[in-house]
Structure 1
Amino acid sequence: MDHQKLTTVTVPLAPREEVAQCIRTTIIFSVLVAVWTGLRLWSRRIRQLPINLPDIFFYVSVATFYAMVVCLFILLYMGGIGYHMDQLQKYHIARLTQCMLVIQALYGISMCGAKWSILWTLKNIFAVRSFQIISWIVIGFQAAWVVMTILIGLLVCRPIEKNWDPTAVGTCGDQIAAYTAVSIYNVVVDVVMCLMPIPMILKLQLKKPYKLALLGIFSIGAVSVAFATIRLLSFRQLDFNDFAYTVVDVVTWTYAEMGVVIMVACSPLLRPVFDKVFRRFMPSRFTKRSNQQSHGTLGSNVDPMDLRKPKSRVRNEFQTIGDSEESLVELGQLGRSQVVATSGKAEKNLYLQKEASDDSSYGAGILVQREITQTFK
């Protein structure tokens, strides 16, 4: 079926609901990303923490996300996304394809930045050698995914001009299979990142409500898995013979997924903001709860000599920390102290906070702590 050719350089928006939905989705997530980023900055200001490596990764991700937003409007008004290919002029197709290659590269960089920020945070939280090794492996796989994402766009058609000039001499590989493979890889990495903290949390000696709360916090990443899966499924309707018309849903879910991943990277780090809000609007309840949690905790008010007394037991499972703390910021300190008296001696098994390093000052909020055995005569 032949369609009327567009004759203007600037293309009017395609009169399709899918295009309107794409614009609405992009605007909504642009606003949400701005709000979540502002909350993250506010959280760090409350704790007076300096910018460090995970923050740099995160802000690179945010910057490239907004660069993607700019490219989307170039697609809409100069690339003719939403129209059939036979309605577009040759220069429309060139801008469409070139802009899509730029978006693909920005998407890979933005996704990698957000996920590296999450992985570095997890690495700082769980100071266990096996977890550190797994984290580095996943970081490496994520880096390989970025390279794959960028290179597929550049190499699937040879020469590269073949992407935007169908009349150019050359060949293209199976583009749908290539982009689907990249998306499957992305979903697998998301699933691995969601599963990584679960064994560590289950091993913590905590009451069930605390474990469920922590599992809930770290399971936020499942939302990004859902969006990545939906984006993957949207490739089924992609037809490169009518690329401009069929790619709209893929673009929509690409921006939605990217926005969700950035929000997921922020969400576990916003407790200082929520604490401040709760103190302001529910001061009596919040103060009462904080006082109840602070009683019986192992801190500076506990006399070390009391630990030598037989049959004494001090147990701390979830502690709300003050604003002056820098090493544990958002979620509170998890700890456990137990003193057992045996034959004139007391063995004290104390889980202490891992000493803050440059990275751990990031304040992820939970640390899997080292076990130190001391003997008192």
Structure 2
Amino acid sequence: MSGLEYMRDPPAGEDRWAAESTVTTQKAVGALVLAVATLVYLLRIYTRVHLTRLALRWDDYLAGAAMASSWAFFGCTMGMIANGGCGRHFWQVTSVEYIELLKWTLPVNVFYMLSADLAKLSLLVLYLNFSPDRTYRIILQTLIAAFVLYAIIYAGVSIFGCQPFHAHWDLEAMSTAKCVDKPMFFLAASIANVVMDVVILLVPLRIVLPLHIARRQKVSLLLLFATGGGVVCIAAYCCHLTIQLFNSSDYTHGLSNELSWMYGELAGCVICASASTTRAFFARYIPRFLGTLGSTLRPSKDDADTTGMELEAERRKQARVELDRHDAIQLESDNDDNSVAPSPGHLVCDDERSLWSRGG
């Protein structure tokens, strides 16, 4: 195929260059939603370190890695636009550009999987703080192992799914190469992605449903679950777009639309993972942002006495005692005064675990 050949002819009666591209929209959507997600993540870190005076944990690092991978994903999709004709109509794309698009598809797939998986692992690790219940923790640990296995399989098939390797992008080699059925694989992966999002949304209900939630915690709870529900909806829509894309005669234009929704999905994953932690920031600096809760959002002396992170050994030792007394299952600290730091000998409670309490 000559590099000057286009991938297809324009529709009958239409000039090749008459139709507009979606390049500008894709760039704007991606930059905007990922910038918002980055801001939320930075607020998470600021709240953790400066307001609640806590050390960063594994869920913080995993969310940060997810954010970095999301930007790497965005950067690779910009390569698709610059070199591969993404966002333009298929009849405006040359064979050389299409080959470049297929090359960029490899890192795009890997970084998309990595971003989504790291954000979900961050949530699962966060969920481990919700309860010391053995069955609950075994379920979470099993899910974490399943997510890691999913990531390995997805990356392996994406990278090594064609033999020889250059058949991923070589249009001539594709006719004789041995490749997995990519449309079916990515459709199955999209469906699995939706199922995993639903599971992550439902897992904490076993702990949450028995609780009587105080009014001051309802906003944070609604924010966390509403964000998670939004991610599920976007993931389901991306699954629908995947089906359409592999049956489309305008591949590069449809791909741009799906990538725009993928930016939203990845941003939503990071925001969902950070939603509960940032509540203390808004409660301190923008109290009316959370509604007309008035003084219920202001830290009390009792709240201040239970701020920060208890020593790991003491937390595990006291957890069941606290539950037996119907004390708080604490998910997020209500201490928003950054002048109060836990003393070494003071038994304090982790910030995520004071979000919901018994008997609110």
Is contact 2:129-2:352 (8 Å) kept? Answer: yes
**DSSP 3-state at the match of 1:268:** coil
Taking the TM superposition and a 5 Å limit, the aligned residue runs for 1:99-118 are 99-118=104-123
| Residues in 1 aligned to 2:216 and 2:182: alpha-carbon distance in whole angstroms | 47
The alpha-carbon distance between structure 1 residues 20 and 281, as it changes in their structure 2 partners (threshold 3 A), is: closer
Unaligned runs of 5+ in 2: 7-16, 311-318, 331-341, 343-347
Q: In the alignment, is the contact (CA less than 8 A) between 1:55 and 1:117 conserved in 2?
A: yes
**2:110 aligned with 1:121, yes or no?**
no
1:93 deviates by 2.9
Residue 336 of structure 2 corresponds to none
> Structure 2: how far apart are the matches of 1:363 and 1:211?
13
1:256 maps onto 2:264 in alignment:
yes
Distance 1:28 1:218 in 2: 21
**After the TM superposition, which residues 1-377 of structure 1 pair with which residues of structure 2 at under 5 Å, given as runs?**
5=5, 16-44=20-48, 45-83=50-88, 87-168=92-173, 169-204=176-211, 206=212, 215-220=221-226, 221-239=228-246, 243-278=251-286, 286=294, 288-289=295-296, 294=300, 321-322=303-304, 325-327=307-309, 349=325, 351=327, 363-366=351-354
Once the two structures are TM-superposed, the CA of residue 153 in structure 1 deviates from its matched residue by 1.5
1:283-307 per-residue CA deviation (whole Å, 9 max, x = no partner) reads x984x4468x859xxx6xxxxxxxx
Q: Structure 2 vs 1, CA of residues 365 and 274 (structure 1 numbering), >3 Å: closer, same or farther?
A: farther
Query: Is the CA contact (8 Å cut-off) linking 2:167 and 2:177 kept in structure 1?
Result: yes
Q: Is the contact between residue 58 and residue 117 of structure 1 (CA under 8 Å) also seen in structure 2?
A: yes
Aligned 8 A contact 1:79 1:95 in 2: yes
**Residue 243 of structure 1, CA deviation:** 3.9
Please identify, of 214-223 and 99-108, the stretch whose mean Cα deviation from structure 2 is larger.
Answer: 214-223
Is contact 1:109–1:146 with CA below 8 Å preserved after alignment?
yes
Counterpart-to-counterpart distance in 2, 1:164 and 1:279 = 53
Is the CA contact (8 Å cut-off) linking 2:224 and 2:272 kept in structure 1? no
Matches of 2:128 and 2:356, distance apart in 1:
10
Aligned identity (percent) is 21
Q: C-alpha offsets along residues 237-272 of structure 1, whole Å, 9 cap, x if unaligned? A: 213876434322221221111111111111111122
Greater radius of gyration (CA): 1
- Aligned partner of residue 124 in structure 1, secondary structure: coil
Q: Is the 8 A contact 1:125 1:367 kept in 2?
A: no
- 1:21 is displaced (CA, Å) by 2.6
Structure 1, unaligned runs of 5 or more:
7-12, 300-320, 329-333, 339-347, 371-377
Counterpart in the other structure of 1:302: none
In structure 2, relative to structure 1, the CA distance for the partners of 1:187 and 1:14 (3 Å cut) is: farther
Q: CA RMSD in A?
A: 3.9
1:303-325: CA deviations, max 9, x gaps?
xxxxxxxxxxxxxxxxxx22871
Pair 361,177 (structure 1): closer, same or farther in 2 beyond 3 Å: farther
Report the Cα offset of residue 195 of structure 1: 0.7
TM-score (norm 2): 0.75
Greater strand share, 1 or 2? 1
Residue 62 of structure 1: how far off its partner (Å): 0.8
Cα distance change, pair 350–243 in 1 and its aligned pair in 2 (3 A):
closer
Work out the number of aligned pairs and report it.
316
Aligned equivalents of 2:217, 2:306: Cα separation in 1: 26
Sort the Cα spacing of 1:280 and 1:181 in 2 relative to 1 into closer, same or farther, 3 A.
Answer: closer
Offset at 1:279?
5.7
CA distance, structure 2, for counterparts of residue 207 and residue 179 of structure 1: 40
Letter in 2 for 1:365: R
- The structure whose RCO (Cα within 8 Å, separation 6+) is larger is 2
- Give the whole-Å Cα distance in 1 for the aligned partners of 2:213 and 2:128: 24
Deviations 1:14-69 (A, max 9, x none): 96353333222102112211211221122112112222211111111111111112
- Corresponding residue SS for 2:142: helix
In 1, the alpha carbon distance for the partners of 2:326 and 2:24 equals 58
Quick check: 2:161–2:180 contact (8 Å CA) kept in 1? yes
